[in-house]
Structure 1
Amino acid sequence: MTNQVEQAALLLALRESELGWADVTRVVEESGSALTSLDTLLTPEQPTLDHVTVDPADQLDAVVHEIKAWAEEGIRLVTVLDEDYPVQLMMVHQRPPFLTYRGFLDPADQNGVAVVGSRNASSRGLHITREIATMLTQNGITVLSGLAAGVDSAAHRAVLDAGGRTVAVVGTGLRTCYPSANAELHEEIQRTGAVLSQFWPDAGPAKHHFPMRNAVMSGCSVATVVVEAGEHSGTRIQARLALEHGRHVFLLPEVVTGTTWGQDMAARPNTTVLESPDQLLRVLDDLGTDVPDLINF
């Protein structure tokens, strides 16, 4: 586990470096230390708009205090250099350099399954969602979803009602609840699970955030179940990313018959058209969920 100074160094590098996040993450991972990388990523003194130079050491202290302020609000931080960074997510190239979360992380989440679908789900779709989420919970499997209306909310609620663990991967910072109607659900999830974000705590909803959120949700899961989705649904992004990540995708028959992308995806390897919830467990058992040892940075 890195200390707050190392974590602050990574956040400072992300804020101040002219490199993109992926490049900053690469430099930090290669050195194994955000502090060691800081000299590479920052000039000795950063001029402000008022032409006043700011010592990076002072900047680092300010970020340390900011992380402590987050913690006082119940917002925790984990970086790619921390041992408790999600193991499955570490194996995908879209892994974000840091995550913030409310609640707690659990190593068992590495075997979690994402259940996603339409915001405007039908009553049958919501029923199937609850059935799948409850069955996964009863078998000790963490259920991940995106805290959106419709299928996502139904999945989270079913897990909570069944006394299980669910993780919400959100497309905003943790000081924002989107949609606001899910504020109570947001609070309930963090008591026994986690609400996870790759964005700064003050970040609001933005269109480009949600595909990024889908990449993290897929990366954290061993498989993704798509219950309902339209032709242009954002859910198709997660299904595509899951296959790119080498994760299994389960499609409900309605998704296959109702969309061209579902038809195309159903014919691809690593995809199952799900005829019953029990089939989901059988395929998961066949796949196995052992996670290979990773190189320690």
Structure 2
Amino acid sequence: MGRWDDTERAAMVALLRCTPTERGERELVQQLTDEASAVALLRRRLAPVDLFSDPMEEAIAKAKEEIASWEQDGVQVITLGDDHYPHRLRDVFDRPPLLFARGAVLDDDDGVAVVGSRGVSSEGRVITAELATRLVERGLTVVSGLAAGVDTAAHQAALRAGGRTVAVIGTGIRKHFPPENRDLHREVAEHGAVFSQFWPDKAPDKTTFPLRNGTMSGYSLATIIVEAGERSGTRIQARKAVEHGRPVILMRSVIDRTEWGRVTAGKPDVHVAQDVLEAMTIVDDLLDRPKQLEDLLSQIG
């Protein structure tokens, strides 16, 4: 699409302000893919009712004021029409039309999601830290959700290893959940980036975390699930990753302890790792896939 100007970005914000449902957002994304103009869509939605007012111009002006206030607070506003919208996320069907970010936004960020239970065991915490450290050693970004448990351990280990880490959060970017991760939120933004697809002051609810799991899957090369219960929200990310055609690595405990893990293990491109070494061997094989494809195409050619 190329980088949009300020008016197109404001039109996107205005469109979303009058698109209250998830289904409506998805329809909006499809329309933007086809037409590539938020201004044109907004014009059709907000046609003038008389000669003395233009609701579209008023909506855009209000949206520009909102964007300016967010940017003054250090929040970046990224639309589907911007060149620096994350490229990997752009490829999935349920990509969010708007992202809010703090930190260094990379349009082509090679990251692996490390996620799991909020009530992580001591063993799971050790495994998470080892996985994050090994990913950093390979020059990969550690992606997680800034929640308690596995997410916190993954971000902290990546920071200790001097690597880049990215958080995809289930609240607005001005919120901190859990509250005790306020400082970690700031550290992740300083050494990577924090992303949210929700309005900046949005509080968490039952819909926000499943949506962010889909976004985290879309952002990442692959997802590693360390620990998770039978009803863990992490299973949503596994399902989304399969839908996105992204590899999933399940640590052995997920298979041993959950029925959904055993079912998921039979899906395409889902792998089971007995330990950290095997998980990283799988990651290395995944990273080698583009070269293998290139070699195959050269042989065919």
Aligned to 1:153: 152
CA distance in 2, matches of 1:107, 1:25: 19
TM-fit CA distance, 1:177: 0.7
Residues 45, 224 of structure 1: alpha-carbon distance in 2 compared, 3 angstrom cutoff: farther
Where 2:100 maps in the other structure, the secondary structure is: strand
CA contact (8 A) 1:13 1:42 kept: no
Unaligned runs of 5+ in 2: 294-301
1:177 and 2:176 aligned: yes
Output aligned runs, 1:1-297, within 5 Å: 1-17=3-19, 20-45=24-49, 55-109=55-109, 111-288=110-287, 290=290
For residues 25-70 of structure 1, the C-alpha deviation after alignment (integer angstroms, 9 at most, x for no partner) is 2222221121122212323259xxxxx9763212211111110110
* Runs of 4 or more above 4 Å deviation: 289-292
CA RMSD of superposed structures (Å): 2.0
CA distance in 2, matches of 1:276, 1:2: 45
CA contact (8 A) 1:45 1:56 kept: no
Could you state the TM-score of these two structures normalised by the residue count of structure 2? Answer: 0.90
Counterpart of 1:81, as a letter, is: G
Decide which moves more: 193-202 or 12-21.
12-21
Aligned to 1:295: none
For residues 51-109 of structure 1, the C-alpha deviation after alignment (integer angstroms, 9 at most, x for no partner) is x9763212211111110110110100111111111111111111010100111212442
Counterpart of 1:26, as a letter, is: Q
CA distance in 2, matches of 1:63, 1:249: 39
Could you state the TM-score of these two structures normalised by the residue count of structure 1? Answer: 0.91
Unaligned runs of 5+ in 1: 47-51, 293-297
Where 1:144 maps in the other structure, the secondary structure is: strand
CA contact (8 A) 1:100 1:196 kept: yes
Aligned length: 286
Question: What is the aligned-residue identity percentage?
Answer: 45
TM-fit CA distance, 1:282: 2.6
CA contact (8 A) 2:242 2:267 kept: no
